[in-house]
Amino acid sequence: MAETLKERKDINPQDLWDLTPIFESDEAWEKAFAETDKIADQFAAYPGTLGQSAERLREFYDLMYGAFETLEKLHGYAFQRKSEDNRQDAAQSMYSRAYSRYVQLMSAVSFLDPEILALPEETLQSYLKADCLAPYRHVLENTIRMKAHTLTAPEEAILASLAEVTGSFGDTMEMLTDADFTFDAVPDPEKPGETIELTESNYILLQRNQNRAIREGAFRNYYKTYKGHNNTFTALYSTQVKSDSIEARLRHFPSSVAGSLASNNIPVSVYDSLVETIHEAMPLMYRYVALRKKMLGLSELHYYDVYAPLVKDVNRTYTYEEAKQMLLEAVAPLGEDYVNVVKKGLADRWVDVYPNVGKSGGAYSIGTKKDHPNILMNFNGTLDDVSTLCHEMGHSMHTYLTHQKQPVQYDDYALFIAEVASTVNENLLIESLLKKETDKNMKLFLLNEYMEGFKGTIFRQTMFAEFERICHDKIDAGDALSSTTLNETYKDLIKLYFGPELVIDDEVAYEWSRIPHFYRSFYVYQYATGYSSAVALSEAILNEGAPAVKRYLEFLSLGNSVYCLDALKHGGVDLSTPEPVRMAMKKFEKILDMAEALVNE
C-alpha cells in the first residue's frame, strides 16, 4: 500500500464504487431533488381523516412509503458522494438539503401514530381485517401494540419537546471526554526522556502496545483523569437513568428495561436469560484469562494486559484480489446463489476499496437502490481489512435479499438483528482460514482473534448490560446512585466476569464512566445476543448444510415483515430460550480447547 494518500481522481476507477445505478450524475440527482420540493405538502389533507375508512389509511400508507423511498434514494446517494471526499462543498450541500427534506417529511407525517391510536377499538379491529390494508397489517399491528404506552397528543408533544434535554446527557459526557479532557503523557520506556501523547482516541491503541510499561502508564494516567471527574460523571449518568425511569413510568411500563425493549417487542426475559446464561459460562472466561496470563508470561495479569497482543510477529498482508478470493471461499457454504450475488457485487463495483484524501474513515454498507447496496471501506491489506470486507458484504447481502423479497414498508431490519449477517460472514472467514492454516503462530493468532470476539462482544457487552440493569433497577425502586455505588458495582462486575487470575487495580472502578453506550440505555445487550445468534447460525451452516442455509437465507429476506425474535426463530435461533447463548459458549469452549492445546505443545 502507498504510504501517502492518493487523490480520488488518481485511483483506478475499478476500485471505486459505481453510483450511476442510483443516479447517472449529480445533475440527475439535482433534477430528481427539485421534483420533491412539494413532497411534504401532499400530506396536508390527511390529518383528521384516517378514521374515515380503511381505504383512506391505505392511500396514506402508499403515499407515505413512496415518499420515503424517494427521499431515501436521494439521501443515500448524497451521503455516499459526501463520503468519497468530505472536502467537497457540492456533496456537503446535497447531503444537507436531502436531510432537511427528510426531516420535513417526518414532520408532515408525525400525526400518523397518535391519530391511529385515538381511533375507536372497533375501527382498529376492522382495519386489521380489511383486505386493502393486508400489505400493511404488520405495520398496523406494531402501531396498535404500543397503544397502552402511547400518551395523549398533548402529552406526547410535551415529551417530544423535552427530548433534546433528556437526550443531552450523553452529548455532555462526550463533549467532556472528547473536547475538554487532557491526559498526562506516558513516559516512553524505549526512548528515555521522551513521552507518548495520551488521548481519548489513542488509549485503546496504547492498551494493545506490546510494551507493558506503555500499557500500564496509559492505564494509570487515563483513569487518573476520569477519577478526578467522578462526581461529574455520577451526576450525568444518574440523571440519564432517572430520565429513563421517569419516561418508562409515564408510559405505564413496569420497569425501565421493559420500556426500552418494547420498541422491538423483546420480552425482558430475553435480557435476563442472556445474563444468567453468561453467568453459567464464567469458568470458560476464567480459563481464557488464565491462558492470556500464560501466553504473556506474566506472574500477575492486570487490567492493562487484557488487550495486549498474545502472538507477536504476525504481519501477514493481503492484496485486494486475495481478499476477494478469501471472501468467496468463506461464503461458499452459503450456496451458489449467494456466492453468485457476491461475485456480481464485486464485479459491479459495489465496493469503494482504498482510502483517499478526504474520504470518510472506517467502513459501512448502505442500501440505496433495491438491487445495488454499496460498501465503503479503507483497505490497507491487513487481516482486519479482509474481515471488514466479509463483514460489510454480510450487511450488503442482508440488505440485498431483504430488498429483493420485501416491499418498501418492510425492506429494512431492526438493530437487534442488524449485526447477525455481518458476524456470520466473519465467522465463516475465520473458520475457512483455520481449516487451511498450518503455521502454529498464525493459527494461534486466528484463534485469539476468534476468542477476542467472544470476550469483547458477548462477555463484555453482557457485563455492561448487567451494570445498566442494576443501576436502572435501583432508580426504579426509588434508590439513589452515588459515586460509591456506581464504582463498587462496576468493580464487582469486573471481578465476577474476569475471575481470580486478574489483579483488580483501583482504576477499574472508573471504567463505567468512559462508556458512551450507557447513555443509549439497554442498547449494548443486542451486541451479545446478535453475536450469539450469529455463532449458532454459522455453526448450523457449517455442520448441517443445506437445510440450515435455506433457513438462514430466508431469515435474511424477512426484513421488518415480522418481529425480530420471530425472524431469528425462522432462521433456527430461538432467543426465548437460553440455548443459542449456550451454543455460543460451547463454541467458545472448543476454540479455547484448540488454543490451549497449541500453547501446551
321-372 pLDDT, tens digit per residue, is: 999 999 999 999 999 999 999 999 999 999 999 999 999 988 999 998 777 8
Average pLDDT score, the chain: 94
Query: 105: which 3 cell numbers?
Result: 417529511
Quote the cell numbers at residue 60. 396514506
- Neighbouring residues of 338: CB distance < 8 A, sequence distance ≥ 6: 331, 397, 549, 553
Tally of helices (H runs) and strands (E runs) in the chain? 26, 7
Stretch 405-424: mean pLDDT, rounded? 94
Query: Given 3-state DSSP classes, what are the helix, strand and coil percentages for the chain, each rounded to the nearest 5?
Result: 70, 5, 30
Q: Are 440 and 451 in contact (CB under 8 A)?
A: no
Q: Residue 512 — very low, low, confident or very high, per pLDDT cuts 50/70/90?
A: very high
**E strands of 451-549, at which residues?**
502-503
Taking residues 273-294, report their average pLDDT: 97
Q: What are phi and psi of 115, to 5 degrees?
A: -70, -40
pLDDT tens-digit map of 418-477: 999 999 999 999 999 999 999 999 999 999 999 999 999 999 999 999 999 999 999 999
The yes-or-no verdict on residue 113 having pLDDT over 50 is yes
Residue 2 burial (10 A CB sphere; 0-12, 13-18, 19+): exposed
Q: How is residue 477 annotated by DSSP?
A: T
Helix (H, G, I), strand (E, B) or coil at 45: coil
To which residue does cell 459458549 refer? 585
**pLDDT score of 48 more than 70:** yes
Percent share of the chain, pLDDT over 90: 88
Q: Are 132 and 55 in contact (CB under 8 A)?
A: yes
CA dihedral 586, 592, 596, 597 (to 10 degrees): 60
How far are the Cα atoms of 379, 380, 500 from residue 317, in angstroms, in the given order? 11, 8, 37
Question: How many of the other CB atoms lie within 10 Å of CB of 107?
Answer: 11
What's residue 3's pLDDT?
57
Residues annotated as catalytic are 392
- Inter-residue long-range contacts of 312-319, CB under 8 Å, 24+ positions, other chains counted: 312/210, 313/441, 314/441, 314/442, 314/445, 316/383, 316/442, 317/381, 317/382, 318/381, 318/382, 318/383, 318/385, 318/386, 319/381
List phi, psi (to 5°) of 365: -120, 140
Q: Which residue has the higher pLDDT, 495 or 2?
A: 495
Could you give all domains of the chain from N- to C-terminal order, each with its CATH number? 11-150 (1.20.140.70), 182-228 (1.10.287.830), 232-316+412-601 (1.10.1370.20)
498, 289 Cβ separation under 8 angstroms: yes
Coil vs helix vs strand at 365:
strand
